[in-house]
Structure 1
Amino acid sequence: MKIFRLIILILHLGTLFLLLGSLLNAYIPPKIFPWFNLLSLGFPLLMSLYIILIFFWIFSWKKRAFLFMFIGLIFINPVKRWVNFSSEKKENSNPIKIVSFNIKAGTMGKEEVLSYLKAQHADVILTQEDGGISYPSLKDYNRTTSNGLLTILSKHKISNEKVIFSEDESVWLPSALQADIEIKGKMYRFIDVYLYPFQFEKEMIKLDGNTDANEQKVKGIVKKLIPTFKKHQDQVKQIRKAIDSSPYPVIVAGDFNSVPNSYEYYHVSEGLEDAFLLTGKGSGTSFHDYKFPIRIDYVFLSKSLTPISYVVDRSVSISDHYPVISEVSLSEK
């Protein structure tokens, strides 16, 4: 029994160090050491294992359970970025409604997507992977010039739109689209984000009983992940320039193709508020094509703005992403 407990202790300590490694993404970029970013993808599994092992020590009547519980407190916020239960926010008489949605070019139902967006009556809509569609049912909205990937639509006046590209020449896709929008006499900078995709097919991540085949799949996944992390670092750098140079309060939303506690999450959200962390309830999972909790869609705000609500709308499955809907008070703190 002592040998078994020793093995469990080593496993628990190893899990703890891996969890701590995922937090180092706030400091160490992928081009220096990409493996920490890889750990962020497995955070839900690692955290679940960590908690299970705490219960093992509790049922074993071992005092080390309290030590692991105490150390585990440092992961409260990292966990809340995946699953959160925030308190009710005070009602705001006149918030604006923001919808962010990767619509997958309408391939799962273009008319359904357009009808859904129209029914939201949102003040600002940010879409990703829109395939350059013309949004015929949203003609009463002002919109940015199509670039075949990102679009910002607004009931309010749009100006100074700009496509943000990466410095990395191997990234041919726009990193983001910025537009300044005048709402109630004040200007706000909206940034619609779409970081380089991992381009996985379901079969690539579906493991079976064939050990050799599974090993090759895992190697193939890692070969795609590491270069993509490095591409993201260049994209994040350009997005940060747009945020830091803004003379107005900023709202950043979109498909980051990156999970919480990743390098991308930490560095795009730096100095901003995560609307889900402040107002979200339940799971933040927004990508539902795989049977694994993946939150990759976000809404970040300048600290001078106040999020009122954040909802991942799971009532529709018209894309491989769920729409993210947030209400924001523009009354500066």
Structure 2
Amino acid sequence: MRMRVGQLIAFFFRSLLWSLNLFLVLYTCMAYWLLYSLQIEHWLAGMIMISIPVAWFLNLVIVFLWLITRPWRSWLSGLTLLIGILLFGSRTFVWHRPTEIVSQGTPLKVFSYNVQTFGELEYWQLPQSVPRVRRTLSYVLHYDAPIKCFQEFYSSTKIPDYDIVGRFQKAGYNYAAFLHPKMAHAVNGDIGIAIFSIYPIVESGREVFDTHNGIVWANIKIGNDTIRVINVHLHSMGIRVGKVLKQKQIKGVQHETRGVLSALRTGFIDRNEEVRKVEQYIQNSPYPVIITGDHNDTPYSVVYERLRRILPNTFEEAGRGFGFSYNRLPGFIRIDHQFHDPKIPVLDFETINYIKYSDHYPIAGTYLIK
């Protein structure tokens, strides 16, 4: 009798697991189709697309569970994972070595960093600078790259250490383009997006989405060639996992969760509109283009897929590892990207994940200007 009861319980849980397995596989395949075809760009479709890594993890867990109980049933989730790796593996994990220069040309490094206002907004009312801000500024000033792009850029003339625009000019970056140029020499200069270059900027432009978000582009002359660098900061993802986890009461968790979901929904809608404007600047450019910045979207998103269909992604062609670029919870996402024109070969790409001054890690792509 006990044996029969045990068998019934085991049968029930296996049937439940198999039902969940079927549902998960169908959900994962739907996410694959949405991302691969890009037929539906509704915000709800975007939510499903970015959940692909979570679906992979759950499928992997189910594979191990079936291997323990009914090994032959593990093939379904295993096959689903294999299809996902074939379709989207290169945007998830790569391992490339830096390419050696085998032809004549100029190596060009493009550095990009969301500096989170250098943390200055916490200290700008103080009569003197603080060590944390000085360390951040020292790093970005001395990093060896002729073109540097920033998001959430801030400068203040109140304290000499915080006059970052002036300090970049003294360091040899005589050319610059800003989202809010009038703030470049202000006491409280919330500039937003900035491009600094040691090479001449022959033309530039900008488009503001809101206070911090927008597009800044610059046509930069390097020797006899000219390229266009587009620095973008798209609408925030609204990720506040830390605030959710800090809540001690259910009501607080529910409130913060609703806030995250609402912010995600708004972000999907706004970024889908903003990426179309980025596409226009690419298509209207008379020169080869490099795009960099904080896109606030993962490789499994409408934004990433639309740009990827126009230009190759630098991480996929020359990066190493997973390239996670967000320095906060959940931590395992890549939302800072670079894309480049095929006429500008990529030599190397690095996510500098040991620099933790901001809520993002810096990224740097090295290209060959022939």
CA contact (8 A) 1:163 1:174 kept: no
Q: Is the contact made by 1:288 and 1:322 (CA closer than 8 Å) also made in structure 2? A: yes
Which residue in 2 is equivalent to 1:138? 168
Unmatched runs of 5 consecutive residues or more in structure 2: 1-9, 121-131, 157-163, 181-190
Aligned pair in 2 of structure 1 residues 310, 90: CA closer, same or farther (>3 Å)? closer
For the aligned residue pairs, the C-alpha RMSD in angstroms reads 2.4
Structure 1 residues 310 and 61: alpha-carbon distance in aligned structure 2, compared to 1, 3 A threshold? same
Q: For 1:95, what is the secondary structure of its paired residue? A: strand
1:161 equivalent to 2:204? Answer: yes
C-alpha contact 1:104 1:130 (8 A) present in aligned 2: yes
Shift of 1:61: 4.4
Under a length normalisation based on structure 1, what TM-score does the superposition of the two structures give?
0.88
Q: Which residue pairs with 1:301 in the alignment?
A: 340
**1:150 corresponding residue in structure 2:** 193
State whether residues 344 and 368 of structure 2, in contact with CA within 8 Å, keep that contact through their aligned partners in structure 1.
yes
In the TM superposition, 1:43-62 aligns within 5 A as 43-62=52-71
Q: Does 1:100 align with 2:130?
A: no
1:209 Cα deviation after fit: 6.2
Letter in 2 for 1:118: L
Count of residue pairs the alignment pairs up: 324
SS at the partner of 1:221?
A: helix
Which residue is equivalent to 2:81?
72
8 Å CA contact 2:221, 2:227 repeated in 1: yes
Q: In the alignment, what sits opposite 2:95?
A: 86
Match of 2:19 among 3, 10, 18: 10
Q: Which residue of 1 aligns with 2:313?
A: 274
Q: For structure 1, list consecutive stretches of 5 or more residues without a partner in the other structure.
A: none
Relative to structure 1, is the Cα distance of residues 206 and 29 closer, same or farther in structure 2, using a 3 angstrom cutoff? farther
- Using the size of structure 2 for normalisation, the TM-score is 0.80
AA partner of residue 62 (structure 1): P
Amino acid paired to 1:53? I
Which amino acid in structure 2 is aligned with residue 143 of structure 1?
A
Residue 231 of structure 1 and its aligned partner are, at CA, apart by 1.0
Moved more, 209-218 or 146-155: 209-218
CA distance in 2, matches of 1:106, 1:119: 15
Q: Larger RCO: Structure 1 or Structure 2 (Cα < 8 Å, ≥ 6 residues apart)?
A: 1
Cα gap change, 1:210/1:245 in structure 2, threshold over 3 Å: closer, same or farther? same
Judge conservation of contact 2:315–2:338 (CA < 8 Å) in 1.
Answer: yes
Q: Secondary structure at the match of 1:107?
A: helix
Instruction: Name the CA shift for 1:106/1:328 in 2 (closer, same or farther; >3 Å).
Output: same
d(CA) in 1 for partners of 2:241 and 2:57?
A: 24
Deviates more, 1:308-317 or 1:55-64: 55-64
The structure that is helix-richer by fraction is 2
Q: 1:192, CA displacement in angstroms?
A: 0.3
TM-superposed deviation, 1:324: 0.6
Amino acid at match of 2:277: Q
Q: CA deviation at 1:259?
A: 1.3
Identity over the aligned pairs, expressed in percent?
22
